[in-house]
Chains A and B, each alone.
Chain A
Amino acid sequence: MLQWLPENVSTYGQGVDNLFYAIYYLTLIVFILVMGTLIVFLIKYRHQEGKRADYIEGSTTLEIVWTAATTVIVFVLAMFSYPQWNNIKSPTQFPENPDVVVQVSGKQFNWDMTYPGPDNEFGTDDDLELENELHVPVNAVVHIRLTSVDVIHSFFVPQLRLKQDALPNRFIEVWFEATKAGRYEIPCAELCGFGHSGMLGYLNVHAQADYDAWVQERWPQ
Chain B
Amino acid sequence: MHDNEHHHEESFISKYIFSLDHKMIGKQFLIYGLLMFFIGGGLALLFRWQLAYPDQPLPVIGASQQYLDEGEVVTGADRMWERIYESDKEEWLETNMPSGVITPEFYNMLFTMHATIMVFFVVVPILVGAFGNFLIPLMIGTRDMAFPILNMLSFWLAVLAAIVMAIGFFVPGGHAAAGWTGYAPLSADPQWTGVEWGQNLWAISLLIQGFSSLVGSINYITTIINMRAPGMTLFRMPLVIWSLFIVAILLLLAFPVLSSALALLIFDRLAGTTFFSATAEGGGDPLLWQHLFWFFGHPEVYILILPGMGIASELIAVFSRKPIFGYRSMVYAMIAIAFLGWIVWGHHMFQSGMRPGLGSIFMTTTMLIAVPSAIKTFNWLGTMFRGSIRFTTPMLHGIAFVSMFVIGGLSGIYMANTPVDIFIHDTYYIVAHIHYVVFGGSLFAIFGGIIFWFPKMYGRYMNDALSKIHFWLTFIAFNCTFFPMHILGVGGHMRRISNPQQYEFLQGFEGMNIFITMSAFTLGFAQLILVFNFFWSMYKGKVAEQNPWQVNTLEWEAPTPVPHGNFGQIPTVYRGPYEYSVPGEESDWIPQAQPEHAPATSGD
What is the interface of chain A, defined by CB distance below 8 A to chain B?
A: 1-2, 4-6, 15-16, 19-20, 23-24, 26-27, 30-31, 34-35, 37-38, 41-42, 45-48, 51-59, 62-63, 66-67, 70-71, 74-75, 77-78, 81-82, 84-86, 88-91, 108, 150-152, 154, 156, 158-159, 161-165, 167-170, 172, 185, 187, 189-198, 200
**Which residue from chain A places its CB closest to the CB of B107 in the assembled complex?**
A197
Tell me the complex Cα distance, A75–B328, Å: 25
Beta-carbon contact of A71 and B580 below 8 Å:
no
As a 0/1 sequence over residues 502 to 533 of chain B, the CB contacts with chain A under 8 angstroms (1 = contact) are: 11110000000000000000000000000000
Beta-carbon contact of B384 and A161 below 8 Å:
no
Beta-carbon contact of B353 and A74 below 8 Å:
no
Tell me the complex Cα distance, A16–B103, Å: 37
Residues of B within 8 A of A75 (CB): 364, 367
**Given A20-B420, A165-B352: A63 touches B375 (CB 8 Å cut-off):** yes
Beta-carbon contact of B426 and A154 below 8 Å:
yes
**Given A51-B388, A162-B422: A38 touches B403 (CB 8 Å cut-off):** yes
- CB B229 to nearest CB in A, in angstroms, measures 23
As a 0/1 sequence over residues 265 to 303 of chain B, the CB contacts with chain A under 8 angstroms (1 = contact) are: 000000000000111100000110000000000000000
Beta-carbon contact of B356 and A54 below 8 Å:
no
Beta-carbon contact of B385 and A78 below 8 Å:
no
Beta-carbon contact of A167 and B326 below 8 Å:
no
**Given A52-B321, A53-B588: A84 touches B399 (CB 8 Å cut-off):** no
Residues of A within 8 A of B177 (CB): 194
Size range of the chain B interface in the assembly: 35 or more
- CB A168 to nearest CB in B, in angstroms, measures 4
- Is B572 at the interface (CB under 8 A from chain A)? no
Beta-carbon contact of B423 and A161 below 8 Å:
yes
**Which residue from chain B places its CB closest to the CB of A58 in the assembled complex?**
B326
Tell me the complex Cα distance, A19–B387, Å: 39
Tell me the complex Cα distance, A189–B179, Å: 13
Give B14-58 interface residues, CB cut-off 8 Å to A.
Answer: none
Give B373-410 interface residues, CB cut-off 8 Å to A.
Answer: 374-375, 377-379, 381-382, 384-391, 399, 402-403, 406-407, 410
Name the contact of B420 in the complex, choosing from A19, A45, A71, A198 (C-beta under 8 A): A19
Interface-lining segment among B69-77, B215-223, B411-419: B411-419
Beta-carbon contact of A56 and B386 below 8 Å:
yes
Name the contact of A194 in the complex, choosing from B193, B277, B379 (C-beta under 8 A): B193
10 contacts between A and B (CB under 8 A): A16-B423, A31-B406, A51-B388, A55-B583, A57-B326, A58-B324, A63-B329, A90-B356, A152-B185, A191-B108
Beta-carbon contact of B403 and A163 below 8 Å:
no
